[in-house]
């Protein structure tokens, strides 16, 4: 049911990856360089292990090389910073990704700041975040970029639209807001301290939810005809759930991204785009 309303993230991801694959082949032929992504995973968080594996599979699909750095939970900050220094210096590595969340003893901001901004394909370095905030987007966080691409693919013009974002994380909510403001949407950001969430969400032309609270959004919180992006992920007994109660909201929304199979696959395709972009910039000494 409601198949015509579903935002098919897998299909869009396939389309993006096909383009990246052909661009990577052309890039290799032109420069003799194969783009390479290094990933860093610390600890045993099962979803993170899966995400990193999916990222390496995507690399293989599009012809990008992958280097997988795995560390035990108790790894010191110095070890990670030292690896980030080595990866920054290596000419054969073009993209660096540190999978989040990190174990508690590793300060995320310190680690993100130690990634070479020219190789920061995840867009979490303060320089890339700052560029995005002033409208000079280069490497931006892959998940909100995926939502923008899905909107473009659907032919939705965000300029002047009321967009409500639920969740104010550095990974999704805040960069999503900046990217939509850059495109002249009217943006409201709600979060865990927002009073009367429903009053806000029910005004949205486009509702983007990224809280990690399973089933938070129900039909009475959604305006008739709204476009709804479910960017939330909750793992429970090896099953993944979104933030939107799909069965409740599907009759009300005009379009709805499911979990799984919505924004997730697009995020990984964007990472491939960014790795190729980084390789191109490094080969031509383009600092952006």
Active site residues: 55, 99, 122
Region binding ligand GUN by CB under 6 A among candidate stretches 96-104, 129-137, 145-153, 239-247: 96-104
Interaction between residue 142 and ligand GUN (CB under 6 A):
yes
Q: 3-state class of 48 per DSSP?
A: helix
Rounded to a whole number of angstroms, the minimum distance from the CB of residue 51 to ligand GUN is 7
Query: Which of 97, 129, 206, 263 is close enough to bind ligand GUN by CB under 6 A?
Result: 97
Rounded to a whole number of angstroms, the minimum distance from the CB of residue 221 to ligand GUN is 24
Query: Which of 128, 143, 201, 211 is close enough to bind ligand GUN by CB under 6 A?
Result: 143
Closest residue to ligand GUN using C-beta atoms:
100
Region binding ligand GUN by CB under 6 A among candidate stretches 64-72, 81-89, 92-100, 190-198: 92-100
Which x/- pattern, by CB under 6 A, does the window 104-123 give for ligand GUN? Answer: ------------------x-
List the interface residues with ligand GUN, window 172-231 (CB under 6 A). Answer: none
User: What DSSP designation does 4 have?
Assistant: G
For residues 207 and 231, the answer to whether their CB atoms sit within 8 Å is no
List the interface residues with ligand GUN, window 243-272 (CB under 6 A). Answer: 267
Query: Which of 54, 88, 100, 197 is close enough to bind ligand GUN by CB under 6 A?
Result: 100
Query: Which of 12, 38, 149, 171 is close enough to bind ligand GUN by CB under 6 A?
Result: 171
Q: Which residues bind ligand GUN (CB under 6 A)?
A: 97-100, 122, 141-143, 171, 267
């Amino acid at each position: 049911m409601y198949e015509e309303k579903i935002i098919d993230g897998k299909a869009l991801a396939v389309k993006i990856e096909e383009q990246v694959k052909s661009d990577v082949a052309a890039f290799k032929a032109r420069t003799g360089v194969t783009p390479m992504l290094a990933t860093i995973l610390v600890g045993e968080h099962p979803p993170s292990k899966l995400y990193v594996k999916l990222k390496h599979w995507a690399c293989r699909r599009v012809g990008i090389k992958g280097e997988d750095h795995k560390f035990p939970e108790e790894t010191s900050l110095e070890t990670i910073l030292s690896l980030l220094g080595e990866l920054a210096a290596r000419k054969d590595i073009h993209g660096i990704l540190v999978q989040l969340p990190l174990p508690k003893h590793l300060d995320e901001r310190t680690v993100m700041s130690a990634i070479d901004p020219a190789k920061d394909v995840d867009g979490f370095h303060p320089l890339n975040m700052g560029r995005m905030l002033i409208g000079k987007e280069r490497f931006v966080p892959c998940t909100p970029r995926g939502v923008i691409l899905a909107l473009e693919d659907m032919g939705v013009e965000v300029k002047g639209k009321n967009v409500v974002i639920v969740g104010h994380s550095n990974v999704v909510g805040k960069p999503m807001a900046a990217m939509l403001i850059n495109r002249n949407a009217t943006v409201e950001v709600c979060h865990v301290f927002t009073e009367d969430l429903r009053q806000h969400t029910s005004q949205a032309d486009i509702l983007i939810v990224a809280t990690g609270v399973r089933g938070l959004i129900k039909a009475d919180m959604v305006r008739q005809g709204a476009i709804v992006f479910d960017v939330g992920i909750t793992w429970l007994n090896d099953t993944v759930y979104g933030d939107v109660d799909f069965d409740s909201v599907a009759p009300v929304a005009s379009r709805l991204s499911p979990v799984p199979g919505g924004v997730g696959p697009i995020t990984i395709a964007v990472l491939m785009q960014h790795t190729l972009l980084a390789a191109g910039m490094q080969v031509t000494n383009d600092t952006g």
